[in-house]
Structure 1
């Protein structure tokens, strides 16, 4: 008997890191690592479930920048070169570690793993969106959209036109790639504010994923808290993140990924082996970076790490997946006693957790989904869209502004270290609105310049840049990205307003920042 539902939602996002103007751009590796560690392993999980006849439903947001990069010919060629280098290095490691039986076993595991990744990649014609489209068409995966470049929408709302453009561009690009309109959206950083509601309704969005406090603190207070969706004034449903399910995965104290048997993220041969040996597998500048070959397990709070034992890690995966399934079952049993409709436990996570930060994450997903299909569970996996189709009547309540960032507000993306960004973004947005309103009948070259100005603006608006600055990681790169896109925007603005456009100048920008080939600059018009 089905007493309730679990909705597993994976948010797949990376900033747009395409750099044909740079030889061996280090940041492009963010994408290549995610493909190796997250996206292909998860594709293999879905394929394995389908081949075994396991019924399942999963939701994934794939943001427009990530979709664009997965579809990009240049990046796919660069990724294949990266993957072949990984295979070459892994084979060298088998030779180097031949005298150490345990270490040699792990190195052989990496050869098999990388070769398996290549097999899957080629199976889908070196276009991973082919796989996600297939799963979406089969009905086992619902792909939902996001805003154009993951801009933190409440902080851009000074100019309503730019918020609408972020959302509309995201919806339209989804249609181009997926072949149909999206029903749901992942609001960047789960950041909600009241002004988004009518725009989502206008764009045909039926639901969005919200931080737990957006729903639990909604007005009037929801009867079932986050165990059921609520409906905004315009009828858009909000599904609130379940706190208990989140803690079991995310918590630094209680979360599964911290188990001593799982692979240690912070020990990679890229930092440990002699430079003469490793130099051909890192960036040409000689900066030491991850290669993806990591030989140690977490072990414990010690620097003396033990070798990774894959079999032991997979045993822990089964235990943790069993516990997660049992916990959701108990949760649903308890909730269903008090509710007049089956509860839904909404479990949203960053996809990049599963495989990148938590190497065994895709294996965990596989085991949990198989558990959910077993007869002992009293819940089923579903998607927000299907839950709304089954139970369309929801409580009308206004979600509270919030995000899933630290403290549940917007302070990660707006603080003393990164607040300068927004003054620049707001000024550029006002200039973009003026441009859109000023050119009623532009020439073909002016149309291209207007479209490129819109591209540069949305790329500058990515929430990744203030996030990186806040967390003090690749700060120089984040600052440069904001400033570069804004500088290009200003150059385009000046050329358009002073009638000195040159085709060569436009083409150079189009070749570098080529996202959204059909972007509609008229979205910025306010009349």
Structure 2
């Protein structure tokens, strides 16, 4: 899969991320998000990759898995929760049989498959599965900072600590730290490349406009040897665009329309302005035809883009398309089938399919570039995470950082209270909360999450200063327990957090 390529080179990057949801609500927001994405995206995408690995394929795609998501996919509480959720999915399918027999039959088959895959491959968590995919080289893994912070808004000391903690977490789960990361929100501030170099990170993602659209090769940033890759928007938006992207096709299953008695989704999109009650029943045959049509269109788009870039630059070029993994299967029901069709058809069309690592090895690295402050959010700037709509969250985050950095965290031995205080601070600083508020997506939940973690941090900080708090720290650790290796002394300096030489 990674050889040949007369037309040029294509890299698909999938970014897998959800904030810490365990023990923080179930429905309509909370753990339900995790279980839906797990069942409908992570299981089928991993199954696809395992089948490619069995065929001996290498460098199929670049897979980002954030440390906070990996922690949940390995967590015994979450594993039990998903198993229960999958069983409930099957029961809901059976309950719908008298009213919606065709839908019930499809959902029975889907839930039975998911249960079988989970019980056969996932009962010990994601790390053994992911370790196999990385070891077979079917994917290149991207890591990231702990708890997915908006890095440009962090104090440099906390930014470095968060990155070391995230890389150490991946090293513990997989045996080695990744060389590449998905920078949360593709956010960048000048100088961050030096943070990456010190941590052993050699490549990361930015959005296309950060490189002024010149995404035909990776580019070393500034005076460093750290390479950034830009998302090609012309190609990526064939899928991603809310206006003309493939998932909005009338034949595909509608994400927003439910049979409320069962919670199942019975309808096709039908039309952009069609009310839920007027949407037509889902037709798998019509959906399969749309998958074939859109896979062919995407391949044609990639080939045309590569030919245009070759004509412009006088050499074979690179296209990087990047998406959230949760798009495939969860938001876009047919997405995993489309993904497989594209990854099989591109090499047949003369396109070299590889990873970001493979692109570097193939020589797709251009001249150094200065990258401006940027993100992949609306406007490609930072306003989603520091704009007026989230001024209260920004102010709260600044307060958390000030108090955290003022704590005396140095000492000869680890402190469970200090470790949990840092853990709560990192969870409070997740970029997800500001994003959800700005986008008005479960904004009340997001404000609550930012507030509750900040309050728990403040409580533990006061107990730490008083020389108390072990019992309270243990209570909170059972609820907010990712990154068990986290050592608060690493934030004080003079202590390396975790086993990797980050």
Task: Please tell me the TM-score bracket, short chain as reference.
Answer: over 0.9
User: 2: CA distance between counterparts of 1:32 and 1:358?
Assistant: 16
Aligned partners of 2:304, 2:462: CA distance in 1, in Å? 62
2:248 to 253, 258, 278: 258
Contact 1:432/1:524 (CA < 8 Å) preserved in 2? no
The superposition leaves residues 45-76 of structure 1 with CA deviations (integer Å, 9 ceiling, x where unpaired) of 22333445656510111001100000000111
Aligned to 1:14: 18
Equivalent position SS for 1:6: strand
Instruction: State the Cα deviation string for residues 299-326 of structure 1 (Å, max 9, x = none).
Output: 1132211110112101110110111012
Q: In the alignment, which of 274, 293, 297 is matched to residue 268 of structure 2?
A: 297
Equivalent position of 1:347 in the other structure: 321
Q: Distance in 2 between matches of 1:47 and 1:507?
A: 38
Query: How many residue pairs get matched?
Result: 485
Matched, 1:72 2:75: yes
Using the alignment, how far apart are the partners of 1:92 and 1:251 within structure 2?
A: 36
Contact persistence 1:54–1:370 (CA under 8 A): no
Structure 1 segment 406-485 matched on structure 2, within 5 A? 406-435=378-407, 438-441=408-411, 447-485=415-453
SS in 2 for 1:85: helix
Query: How much is the aligned-residue C-alpha RMSD, in angstroms?
Result: 1.9
Offset of residue 26 of structure 1: 4.7
C-alpha distance 49-441 of structure 1, shift in aligned 2 (>3 A):
closer
Q: Distance in 2 between matches of 1:428 and 1:372?
A: 48
**How many Å separate the matches in 2 of 1:357 and 1:525?**
42
Matched with 1:390 is: 362
Which residue matches 1:198?
194
1:152 corresponds in structure 2 to: 150
SS of the equivalent of 2:251 reads: coil
1:439 to 1:267, Cα distance in 2 relative to 1, 3 A: closer
> What is the rounded CA distance, in whole Å, between the counterparts of 1:172 and 1:55 in structure 2?
25
Deviation at 1:142, TM superposition (A): 1.0
**Residue in structure 1 matching 2:477, options 493, 497, 510:** 510
* Aligned-residue offset at 1:14: 0.2
DSSP 3-state at the match of 2:476: helix
TM-score, length-scaled by structure 1: 0.88
Q: Distance in 2 between matches of 1:296 and 1:392?
A: 44
Q: CA deviation at 1:10?
A: 0.5
Unaligned 5+ runs, structure 2: 495-502
Please report how far the alpha carbon of residue 524 of structure 1 lies from its aligned counterpart in structure 2 after TM superposition: 2.1
Are the counterparts in 2 of residues 263 and 359 from structure 1 also a CA contact under 8 Å?
Answer: yes
**Counterpart residue number, 1:282:** none
Q: Deviations over 1:244-293 (max 9, x none)?
A: 112201112221111110001111123xx3xxxx5xxxxxxxxxxxx3x2
Partner of residue 34 from structure 1, selected from 29, 34, 37: 37
- Compare 454-463 and 334-343 and name the one that shifted more: 334-343
Aligned partner (choices 121, 139, 142) of residue 140 of structure 2:
142
Instruction: Note closer, same or farther for the CA distance 1:443–1:54 as it changes in structure 2 (3 Å cut).
Output: closer
In structure 2, the residue matched to 1:269 is 259
Give the TM-score normalised by structure 2: 0.92
Deviation string, structure 1 residues 96-145 (Cα, Å, up to 9, x no partner)? 13xxxxx4222201100010011111121422333222111111111111
- Listed as ranges, the gaps of 5+ residues in structure 1 are 98-102, 218-224, 279-290
Runs of 4+ in 1 over 6 A off after TM superposition: 22-25
